[in-house]
């Protein structure tokens, strides 16, 4: 599942590709139109002729704004959503849900083999998209101060890792980066959020900010060096996630893993308390 750093890289590159281009035609595959949460027959009509003005991100949602200021294209890639930016002459790509044909003989295509992505066209996402309205502030939003983070955290009584992954608490963090944040903060993922002392809550906030900011810069630099393709996630640079039974990079203790709810949590029993 893509998380904030990967989605931020995707936002940056899509903005470079799309801003200033207009949609001249739309092709929707009727076999894959389930990803559209907007009448498919109206989708092509209502986006054709519009010029991209910006690509923004709200948690795990990508928002495509148009120059006319009208309804935005909102995409939640979920597990399988991928974008392809290519020439009009490029071969047909498997699992293409729809293609936006752009000026300059270019296409942007949404691909999804499992058809889990969700695509909306709305001028009021908070009203029209339930999961959007339930989403908390972005984990890297400058407006998310420590005081607001602490206030929101006090609502959660369960395990701290589950709180970090709860998109209603803060948006953009998933399984991988919650492991990294908790490692940076030296907090064990199974601890209940209510047991954190004030200084630990501050440490957690700082770790969230620094870990995600560093990851964004890392995936950007790796992409520029040809080491982080947009169509898949390369998280080999992470410090403990997916590093089961290797030595902790901080204390040398062996990294542990536990399985719950179909996902794996990685942590160090030696230095996460």
pTM of the model: 0.91
Summarize pLDDT for 89-99 with one digit per residue, the tens. 999 999 999 99
pLDDT at 118 over 80: yes
Average pLDDT over residues 65-94: 94
Which one is predicted more confidently, 79 or 103? 103
pLDDT at 268 over 90: yes
pLDDT at 20 over 70: yes
Q: Count of alpha carbons within 13 Å of 143, Cβ hemisphere only? A: 4
Distances (CA, A) of 97 to 34, 71, 157, 200, 266: 9, 20, 40, 45, 35
Domains of the chain in start order, with CATH, are: 4-133 (3.20.190.10), 146-268 (1.10.8.50)
Residues 6+ apart with CB under 8 A from 200: 185, 187
Task: Name residue, tokens 């640079």.
Answer: 237
pLDDT at 231 over 60: no
Q: Residue 224: its pLDDT value, please?
A: 87
Contact assessment for residue 72 and residue 66, using Cβ atoms and an 8 Å cutoff = yes
Q: Residue 230: its pLDDT value, please?
A: 61
Average pLDDT over residues 13-41: 94
Contact assessment for residue 133 and residue 126, using Cβ atoms and an 8 Å cutoff = yes
Residue 232 — pLDDT band, cuts 50, 70, 90? Answer: low
Average pLDDT over residues 75-95: 94
Q: What is the mean pLDDT of the chain?
A: 94
């Amino acid at each position: 599942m893509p998380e904030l750093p990967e989605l931020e890289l995707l936002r940056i590159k899509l903005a470079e590709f799309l801003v200033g281009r207009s949609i001249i035609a739309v092709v929707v595959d009727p076999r894959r139109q389930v990803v559209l949460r907007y009448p498919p027959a109206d989708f092509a009509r209502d986006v054709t002729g519009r010029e991209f003005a910006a690509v923004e991100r709200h948690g795990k949602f990508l928002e495509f704004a148009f120059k006319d200021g009208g309804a935005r294209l909102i995409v939640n890639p979920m597990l399988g959503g991928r974008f392809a930016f290519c020439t009009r002459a490029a071969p047909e790509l498997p699992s293409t849900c729809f293609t936006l044909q752009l000026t300059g003989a270019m296409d942007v295509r949404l691909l999804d083999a499992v058809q889990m992505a969700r695509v909306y066209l709305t001028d009021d996402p908070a009203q029209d998209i339930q999961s959007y309205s339930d989403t908390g502030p972005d984990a890297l939003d400058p407006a998310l101060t420590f005081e607001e983070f602490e206030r929101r955290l006090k609502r959660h009584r369960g395990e701290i890792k589950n709180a970090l992954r709860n998109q209603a608490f803060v948006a953009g963090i998933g399984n991988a980066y919650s492991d990294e944040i908790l490692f940076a903060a030296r907090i064990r993922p199974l601890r209940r959020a209510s047991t954190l002392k004030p200084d630990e809550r501050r440490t957690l906030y700082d770790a969230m900010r620094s870990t995600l900011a560093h990851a964004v810069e890392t995936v950007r630099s790796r992409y520029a060096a040809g080491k982080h393709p947009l169509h898949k996630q390369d998280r080999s640079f992470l410090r403990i996630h997916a590093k089961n039974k290797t030595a902790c990079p901080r204390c040398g203790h062996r990294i542990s893993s536990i399985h719950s709810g179909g996902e794996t949590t990685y942590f160090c029993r030696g230095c996460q308390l």
